[in-house]
Structure 1
Amino acid sequence: MTYERSRFARAAALARYAEQARHPQARLAATDDDVPSSAAMTARNRWLRIGCAFDYRAEIETPTVFLVRPSDGGDVRAAGEQWSAQPEMPMRRYRDLYGNQCVRVVLPAGRSSLRYQAFAEVPDVADEVPLEAAEVRPDELPDRLLLYTLPSRYCLPDALGDEAWSRFGSAAPGYGRVRQICSYVHDHLTFRYGSSTAMSTAVDVNASGFGVCRDFTHLAISFCRALNIPARYVFGYLPDMDVHPDPAPMDFAAWMEVWLAGRWWTVDPRNNSHRKGRVPVGRGRDAADVAMATTFGGPHLEAMRVIAEECDRPG
């Protein structure tokens, strides 16, 4: 049996997987835990202060969904969560299709502010580097992961398939190929605020050579999916922990997770480095699935602030 080039222009000949098929990690079954977890937890964890604030002005009452709470599971533990709103407004929590923790509110007409703050305990370890992690053959992928190999709103493996196989098809399957993709995207795109819009896809930024955090992630995800590597979009808080502080104002960050050797692994095409202190908030196919604020109307966002900084253990 061989895999033909599909209408998504993704080739997956068995010969490309011959080496990894002999690797025992290539046939690991999916685990129950669907989020990355560090295999090297340390006795000393560290604490972060995280949060965000939104100031709106609306002409009419506007139903809104916020996605700013840390996801549960994995190595991160949130504590001391607090919500505040001016004026006061009822809040209702729910989980979306991907299990992300959302809050629903109705913004009143006029000006309003909503703030979220919490502490997060994170392991004092950087992203893992699974050098031997092998790709999983498409026919052996868990059913629930197939959607992470397909095109989505911003990630277009069908349109970028030929380029993906031309650039990365000859690389040895596995983590090394994913790293090669991330390094290429990091070098190919130049970070520039305002260089893309809410309508910009991975194809658009690949052509322009400019983008913001999410654009780096969308392009790398597209290349991975074109090579039949499941990849999903992640956004969350990322402090300047054990790195030189970024002079730009703190903002939410975007990175991705790839499925290799039977589990998810964190990779970051924007920074192209192994960072500490990631606090995932939302996971989905791309940024369209995990908007930090979804408004059913047209309120004006006057200001937004994000905080992610190390702090002492809360009392």
Structure 2
Amino acid sequence: MKLRVGYELVYECAQSTPMLLMLNTHSSRAPDMVVPDHVITHPWVSLRQYHDSFGNLCTRLTAPPGVLTLSARGVFEVPPHHELIGSNNYQNAVEELPDECLMFLLGSRYCETDLLSEVAWQMFGHTPLGGTRVQAICDFVHSHIRFDYNCARPTKTAWQTWQDGVGVCRDYAHLAVALCRAMNIPARYCTGYISDVGLPPPYPPMDFCAWFEAYLGNSWETFDPRNNAPRTGRILMARGRDAADVAISNTFGPTSLIRFMVVCEPDG
């Protein structure tokens, strides 16, 4: 099955403004790419790209004063059936973990493992190790948080989400990541596209989505506490310690986002 993905973001800049974007799909999806999702700007501005330490493709540009439109359209092959989520049930001991996994055991900007460690062990210390424990964490997060766009805020952390019990998909992911790390399970935050293929209408407005990956049995396994069910068509854009590492845009000057539109739907 082919899936068409893309976006249109319109910014208004009061002055010439440097920007750092993370708006391309991840290089791990390159084998599935039918049409590349090149970043297009209007008016035209010069772009420069590089890969960060997490392997994400980043774009640098300087927006001119006024209105700048950023857009992309790509097409990807995806399996026409539900994905398998969290199928590996082996949990590596900390001393067995590869060096590159250790950073995903530590606290980060939005995932305060120190504040949630006691809570995590009280709730999940009795559960079986591995994927079963991660799924128990996802089940708790899914039921504990009430989804509400009106309660979203860019500064909300995992600890605050646990206290508030309300948030959006990034808050679900942050809380689950923090709880996994507190239980000695490496977890990394992911963002990208998730389609509504196979779900009954009505469909909410499309948005970029967040989920996470847990390191189990010497591989990274996908978990999605927001939806807490397999989906058809999940395309990774970026991954990191938490949302601070994968912001779709960082602007270094006064800007306003005046239009935001995301597409993720069957092609043809």
TM-score for both structures, normalised by structure 1: 0.82
Instruction: Give 2:212's aligned residue.
Output: 256
Question: Is structure 2 residue 215 aligned with structure 1 residue 270?
Answer: no
Instruction: Give 1:96's aligned residue.
Output: 52
Instruction: Give 1:71's aligned residue.
Output: 26
Between 77-86 and 48-57, report the one with greater CA deviation: 77-86
2:116 aligned to 137, 141, 160, which one? 160
Instruction: Give 1:40's aligned residue.
Output: none
1:62 aligned to 17, 25, 42, which one? 17
Query: Does structure 2 conserve the Cα–Cα contact (< 8 Å) formed by 1:76 and 1:279?
Result: no
Q: Report the Cα distance in structure 2 between the residues aligned to 1:289 and 1:129, rounded to whole angstroms.
A: 23
Let me know the Cα RMSD of the aligned residues: 1.4
Higher fraction of strand: 2
> Where do residues 201-216 of structure 1 align in structure 2 (5 Å cutoff)?
201-216=157-172
Deviation at 1:225, TM superposition (A): 0.2
Q: Report the Cα distance in structure 2 between the residues aligned to 1:246 and 1:145, rounded to whole angstroms.
A: 40
Q: 4+ residue stretches of structure 1 with deviation over 3 A?
A: 129-132
User: What SS does the corresponding residue of 2:199 show, helix, strand or coil?
Assistant: coil
User: What SS does the corresponding residue of 2:78 show, helix, strand or coil?
Assistant: strand
> Where do residues 293-312 of structure 1 align in structure 2 (5 Å cutoff)?
293-312=249-268
Alpha carbons of 1:277 and 1:146: their partners in 2 closer, same or farther (altered >3 Å)?
A: same
Any idea what the Cα deviations from partners look like across 1:242-296, whole Å, max 9, x if unmatched? 1224532100010000000010000000001011210000000000000011111
Deviation at 1:169, TM superposition (A): 0.4
Q: Report the Cα distance in structure 1 between the residues aligned to 2:82 and 2:216, rounded to whole angstroms.
A: 18
Q: Report the Cα distance in structure 1 between the residues aligned to 2:201 and 2:24, rounded to whole angstroms.
A: 24
Between 280-289 and 54-63, report the one with greater CA deviation: 54-63
% identity of equivalent residues = 39
Query: Does structure 2 conserve the Cα–Cα contact (< 8 Å) formed by 1:75 and 1:123?
Result: no
The one-letter code matched in structure 2 to 1:299 is T
Deviation at 1:68, TM superposition (A): 1.6
Question: Is structure 2 residue 79 aligned with structure 1 residue 133?
Answer: no
Query: Does structure 1 conserve the Cα–Cα contact (< 8 Å) formed by 2:89 and 2:129?
Result: no
Query: Does structure 2 conserve the Cα–Cα contact (< 8 Å) formed by 1:229 and 1:258?
Result: yes
The one-letter code matched in structure 2 to 1:165 is W
Deviation at 1:80, TM superposition (A): 2.2
Query: Does structure 2 conserve the Cα–Cα contact (< 8 Å) formed by 1:59 and 1:299?
Result: yes
Between 111-120 and 240-249, report the one with greater CA deviation: 240-249
Any idea what the Cα deviations from partners look like across 1:30-68, whole Å, max 9, x if unmatched? xxxxxxxxxxxxxxxx11111011111111111111112
Alpha carbons of 1:110 and 1:309: their partners in 2 closer, same or farther (altered >3 Å)?
A: same
Between 91-100 and 254-263, report the one with greater CA deviation: 91-100
Question: Is structure 2 residue 203 aligned with structure 1 residue 247?
Answer: yes
Q: Which consecutive residues of structure 1, in runs of 5 or more, have no partner in the other structure? A: 1-45
Deviation at 1:130, TM superposition (A): 5.0
Instruction: Give 1:121's aligned residue.
Output: 77
User: What SS does the corresponding residue of 1:233 show, helix, strand or coil?
Assistant: strand
Instruction: Give 2:3's aligned residue.
Output: 48
Q: Report the Cα distance in structure 2 between the residues aligned to 1:194 and 1:117, rounded to whole angstroms.
A: 28
Q: Report the Cα distance in structure 2 between the residues aligned to 1:51 and 1:59, rounded to whole angstroms.
A: 26
Q: Which consecutive residues of structure 2, in runs of 5 or more, have no partner in the other structure? A: none
Q: Report the Cα distance in structure 2 between the residues aligned to 1:256 and 1:130, rounded to whole angstroms.
A: 11
Query: Does structure 2 conserve the Cα–Cα contact (< 8 Å) formed by 1:65 and 1:104?
Result: yes
Deviation at 1:143, TM superposition (A): 0.4
Which of the pair has more CA radius of gyration? 1
Any idea what the Cα deviations from partners look like across 1:98-120, whole Å, max 9, x if unmatched? 11011111111011111111111
The one-letter code matched in structure 2 to 1:284 is G
2:246 aligned to 290, 293, 299, which one? 290
Query: Does structure 2 conserve the Cα–Cα contact (< 8 Å) formed by 1:202 and 1:218?
Result: yes
The one-letter code matched in structure 2 to 1:52 is Y
TM-score for both structures, normalised by structure 2: 0.96
Deviation at 1:297, TM superposition (A): 1.2
